[in-house]
Amino acid sequence: MKKLLMLSSALLLAAGVFAQAKKPTIMVVPSDRYCIEKGFVVKFNNQGTVVELPDYKKALQNDSDMRLAISKISGIMSDREFPLKDLEQELRNIANESAESAMLTGADGGSVVESPIDVLKRTAKADIIMDLDFSVEKTGPKNCIRFILNGLDAYTSKNVASSTGVGSPSTSAAIGLLIEEAVLSHMDEFCGRLMAHFDDMFTNGREVKVMVKLFDGSDVNLNEEFDYNGNNDELGTHIEDWMYDNTVNNRYSLSDATENFQRYEQVRIPLYYERNGRQRAMDTRTFANDLKKFLADAPFNLPSKVYMRGLGEAWVVIGEK
């Protein structure tokens, strides 16, 4: 009886984890093109170069049509039981965290800057960003909606699902109804593509990038040899072995490497990991911190620091904490 209860508990836990991972968390945002065309932008200094980025807060405060469109799309996705992150609420959360630094700085003065969009993605931690663009077109006395909806992987910014269409012209329908009618007929295929992408992540892991670098004052480089578990190899080789052992189905790509850096792309990390008997969501920072702990242990005994570049890229910089 005791064994039966233990088996039942294990099955319920597995079912719960699967249900949690069944559908991706989404967040609907105005497209870059829409914001720039409407003048909803913020200027951002990216290491000396001034660029214009979409200002979602300004768009929501000044464009009632876009706010309504986001609400309608969110409602449609909610009806299909996709977990939602509300853009307006997430922006409010970021504003309330005024003490959070926009820059991570090492003891040597090195820094990595996140754009406001990167901060939003990292804070919300949505799996899919639904990028919405639409326009109201007039044909005589009738209005119709032309829309473009792109589902972007929040970690890689890769387009994993797209849908475009034009709604039926109407002389009386409100903007919200026009948007709903235009989008509804395309959503089954769109959601199917989102689920195919998320099912692939559940099976093969989430795709991220990891860069291994050295601080200027580092006492070692990646060609330094260490004896680890009876294998006397270069540090870079030991790190690649760690990647092999800790990625889903050993999937990663070492796209470039020298004695001073290694660039890993298409790194597949698990969606979940177990800690203290509990299932927790794995993200790029957690994965990079695991590599940091590996380097801190014997025989390497190397201090390192993790820098995040957006949600899906981490740098592990060896030489100081």
Token pair belonging to 134 = 């639409």
Query: Can you name the residues that pair with 50 across neighbouring β-strands?
Result: 45
| Rounded Cα distance, 291 and 121, in Å | 23
Residues of the chain with pLDDT under 50: 1-21, 98-112
Predicted confidence at residue 274, as pLDDT, reads 85
Predicted confidence at residue 115, as pLDDT, reads 64
| Rounded Cα distance, 231 and 238, in Å | 9
Predicted confidence at residue 105, as pLDDT, reads 44
- Measured from the Cβ of residue 8, the count of other Cβ atoms closer than 10 Å reads 10
CB contact set of 138 (below 8 Å; sequence gap of 6+): none
Q: What is the pTM of this model?
A: 0.77
- Per DSSP, which regions of the chain are E strands? 26-30, 41-46, 49-54, 103-105, 111-113, 128-139, 142-153, 159-166, 206-214, 225-228, 231-234, 253-257, 262-269, 272-275, 278-281, 304-308, 313-318
Q: How many CA atoms lie within 13 A of 124 on its CB side?
A: 29
With b for 16 or more beta-carbon neighbours within 10 A and e for fewer, the 96-120 pattern comes to eeeeeeeebeeeeebebebebbbbb
| Rounded Cα distance, 293 and 302, in Å | 9
| Rounded Cα distance, 248 and 243, in Å | 10
Predicted confidence at residue 287, as pLDDT, reads 96
23-200 is a CATH 3.40.50 domain: yes
Token pair belonging to 100 = 């959070």
Predicted confidence at residue 261, as pLDDT, reads 95
Element (H, E) at 263: strand 262-269
Q: Are 69 and 177 in contact (CB under 8 A)?
A: no
